[in-house]
Structure 1
Amino acid sequence: MFIPFLLLIIKASAQNSDEFISLNGIQQSDAGKMITQYNSLKNQDTHPNRQSVWINKATLDLMVALLLKEQQAFEDTVHCTDGIRIYFASSLSKSSGRLNNSLIIVSTYFSAIDTNAPSGAHHTDYYNHDGQDPLFKNLNAIKGRVYRKTFYGRGEILYDTCTNCETDIDCKTDDPHYITSGKAKKMVSNFGQKAMTTNSEWFDLGLLQAFADNKQLDGIRMYFSRHTVGDTSPHQDVSDKDALILVPTEPHGMWPFADHKDFFDCSITNDYFKKYYSKHHLFNLAGAGGEDNGELCPSNCN
């Protein structure tokens, strides 16, 4: 069921510094073209590149700070900035064979109740931000660093399929985003064998805050992955669907061999559940679900 209401506007009137840009520095007009390129050509790329995108902690902190500032600027404390939608996108420079895929991170606000969505809400994209915000001062940083799957590790433990990998700790939490590292490895390994099907994935702002709150981290890595056939979720169809796995990272090694190592620890997922998820109004709506590993589009879209 979808219950619309009049869209609310941000308190602050449009200023000359306003820009229509994604959170990782892609102009809205270019973002639309790249998303369209991916959607129209993804079926022909039957072996998409196995890759991840890493964003440093300073950039993540600035991103969260901007979203919280914009959340406060809405007229309504409920229908306001609520998260991000991460789109799969493709460079316009290549239109055949193996595509040059990337990610576009877009802010969203809660625009209506949608009891079919895991979060119980419909999340509408918006690109208008203050172009003078500190987040947009370093475009190279906010675009992130793309890592392609290689034969040697650079802290990307989820690519490691050895039998002596780190112990798979079960955090035993009610955090709906949480998956074990064992499941994550299977999903990452499962990616790249078929044409992609998912358009985007939505995550709530509280999850980003939980990452930002942890001072031990040096960034966040977003892996391209794919659910296994038969994988289930109580509130959406995820079987054989592409997804993103968000993993915190910590500094590892010494220069010039330093890298950003995947950080498997229960502190972030427990902190998220305690501080944000259990108190979030979206997850307490009548008829709304509680499982939210990220809302996948085409099931839950803009």
Structure 2
Amino acid sequence: MTLATRFAPSPTGALHLGSLVAALGSYLIIKRAGGEWHVRIDDLDTPRCVPGAAESILRALEQIGLHWDGPVVYQSDRAAAYQAALATLEARGALYPCACTRKEVARAAQRSGGAGLIYPGTCRNGLPPGRQGRALRVSTVGSAITLNDGAAGRIECRLNEEIGDFIVRRSDGLFAYHLACVVDDAEAGFSHIIRGRDLLACTPPQIHLQRLLDLPQPRYHHLPLALNAAGKKLSKQTHAPPIDPQHPVPAMVQALQLLGLDPPVTLTRTATSAGLIAWGLQALADAPMLTLGNGPSEDRPQHAWEP
């Protein structure tokens, strides 16, 4: 298998420090290993997509010097592949319609897990009388996932108890993130998924889908997050300021530091973005947590899911 990974931003706004950490981290790790770095635009959630944001992100990456391999893939062009995956799940008895609204799930859920409220399986054995299916869920009964993340260590997850049956087609008809992500990653043949720590809880459901669809399981590495002064993840929702692609060095220095790489002051005073990328590639030789090895030892403590 070719070494390859991807940076997959959602076009809900401009490139900011949080997304730069994911872009730069994934780029440095895969390029240091001699692999390919691809870009995919995850634009399925059309109500949240901002016109022109995808083009803005791509321009910023180019100006910074993070050049991708191959064509940019847009999830909005991939509906046929997602529909085919749904048909396979249905044929294998893994899908069921769900009539529950968000409010109903919130009232019925007994607890929260790493991905939010845990769906109690209300519609798993049939729709309530007089109700129609709004969304499609995948059953997780009896599914246990174990993986060794490149940064978080050994992870064990009993899906039904810790995540619950999750949605693969939303009530508005849009395909859900887990399904689209798994289908696209497999078709592209990515050997590694290198992304932000906030997506760690997405990994067990996605591995569950890979197994149901007979798709290969890539290795995973979840990078540190950029946080604001309140300790919240930097994102469009928390009003993260956009990166200035004309003057990206300060943001790139911050991103490198968040990745555990600390460029010397003598470099940062005169550095260009290209110079920082070159320095980062060389510095990875001394950063074992940012390599494509087998990840931390299997005897590390089990990861605790966080709501």
Which bin holds the TM-score, normalised by the shorter protein? Answer: under 0.3
Structure index of larger Rg: 2
Structure with higher strand content: 1
TM-score, normalised to structure 1, is: 0.24
TM-score, normalised to structure 2, is: 0.24
Structure with higher helix content: 2
